[in-house]
Amino acid sequence: MSYFDAASAAPLHTVARQALLAALEDGWADPSRLYREGRKARMLLDAAREAAAEAVGCRPDELTFTPSGTRSVHTGVAGALAGRRRTGRHLIVSAVEHSSVLHSAEVFEAEGGEVTQVPVRRSGAVDAESYAAVLRPDTALACLQSANHEVGTVQPVAAVAEVCRAAGVPLLVDAAQSLGWGRVEGDWSLLTASAHKWGGPSGVGLLVVRKGVRFAVQGASDERESGRAPGFENLPAIVAAAASLRAVRAEAEREAVRLRELTARIRARVPELVPDVEVVGDAERRLPGIVTFSCLYVDGETLLHELDREGFSVSSGSSCTSSTLTPSHVLKAMGVLSEGNVRVSLPTGAAEADVDRFLEVLPGVVAGVREKLGAPVPVAAVQEDVLVVDALGKRCPIPVIELAKVIGTVPVGGRVRVLSDDEAARLDIPAWCEMRNQEYIGEEPAEQGTAYLVRRTT
């Protein structure tokens, strides 16, 4: 089995396993106690904090261990906003942030705060100028991920941190995807991360709050972890997380070169091997191991199941999965094709032979899914020189398939009106038009669902 979903959770690193077992023997006592066992546990905790702080590039007393990366985000956002409540109630986030950041923003908005989402380019990257344009005197906090978890695009954190610093606004960086590859550049104020992203055990997050940043812990707290993560520390997991972070950093430079070569091969070969594919994300400024592409006329859930049968574990941001009927917010913000989406995220040590086999298997799998899905006969009628395609009640990628089947039947300059009640059509039909050099006119209300208008240009 080839595991290609490291962006969700990296396999446990050998060093993490060794450190975890050792810490289970010596790190079970309460590190706040003064007797021998407690002192030994405290030494392990302090050593882990120093190692993690060195990897992050901060002071040990600025770093808190939390139960997860999500908890780090929620605590960091809430604490920073509360600490700067007198400044104002305005929060800035990018449109492609991890759901934990967006959920924190939703809570803040529900409590009376104001949230501004910064749009991204088609590559998935923000512009520092876009952050500068929305900064206000009442802005309490800005958030920006170091790299995107779905498409691998690296964000201009240093540039955004500079404009935020000039405005006196702290910047919280979600570094979950990138911290295993290196420190986050720039003069950021808060940082969060999660150990299971770099090969550490799950259940350990990092929250860094720079000295001088106003921060007010929300909710009940105790004397542990500066009051920012109440409860008994999971010391063995913390020790394993810090040890594995140091280990992956030692391998990062060499492994990054190798994985970049493998993902570049996938980015180049997939469009050559499979017709009607869009590779998404920035081609240059990207994480080493992530490559994402979308396939027209493919059911994303079926595609993932078929790849799983062939021995490949991949993930998807497609709207066509059992967990959601709406497109990934990341792909939607980028304005790219969402149907048949596949994210390949290679773990450290991924074998070249596995990548080659993936490229051998993929064309047949996609072709099989397309054939199995079929191309249903569209219900079409001509109304006032417009060909109407009724795709109501049909989920992606059926509306796009039906559009593709009939576009050639109208004269150049003629229009097709696609009726659909699937939210994914709002993203997929314009993306199809761009890929196939047809003109997307726009959408208009319909008696049922929405009508999407397309003009044939070629």
What are the structure tokens assigned to 308, written together?
């799983």
pLDDT for 321 beyond 90: no
Q: In the chain, what are the helix, strand and coil shares in percent, each to the nearest 5?
A: 40, 20, 40
Angle (CA) 226 229 231, round 5°: 105
Could you tell me if 339 and 424 are in contact, meaning their C-beta atoms sit under 8 angstroms apart?
A: yes
Average pLDDT, the chain: 92
φ, ψ of residue 300 to 5 degrees: the values are -60, -40
Least confident segment among 374-378, 396-400, 439-443: 374-378
One DSSP character per residue, 70-108 reads: HHHHHHHHHHHHHHTTTT-SEEEEETT--HHHHHHHHHH
Q: What is the mean pLDDT of residues 63-77?
A: 97
- Which residue, chain included where needed, has tokens 């020790």? 239
Confidence of residue 49 (pLDDT cuts 50, 70, 90): very high
Q: What is the mean pLDDT of residues 379-400?
A: 76
Catalytic residue among 58, 143, 295, 320: 320
- For residue range 231-260, list pLDDT tens digits in order: 888 999 999 999 999 999 999 999 999 999
Query: How many CA atoms within 13 Å lie on the side-chain side of 184?
Result: 32
Nearest to 145 by CA among 7, 337, 335, 307: 7
143 is known as an active-site residue? no
Q: Could you tell me the pTM of the whole model?
A: 0.84
450-455: strand order across its sheet: 379-383, 386-390, 415-420, 450-455, 439-445
- Which residue, chain included where needed, has tokens 């305005």? 90
The better pLDDT of the pair 446, 256 is held by: 256
Phi-psi region of 216 (alpha: psi -120 to 50; beta: other; left: phi over 0): beta
Could you tell me if 163 and 188 are in contact, meaning their C-beta atoms sit under 8 angstroms apart?
A: no
Torsion from C-alpha of 432, 394, 371, 389, nearest 10 degrees: -60
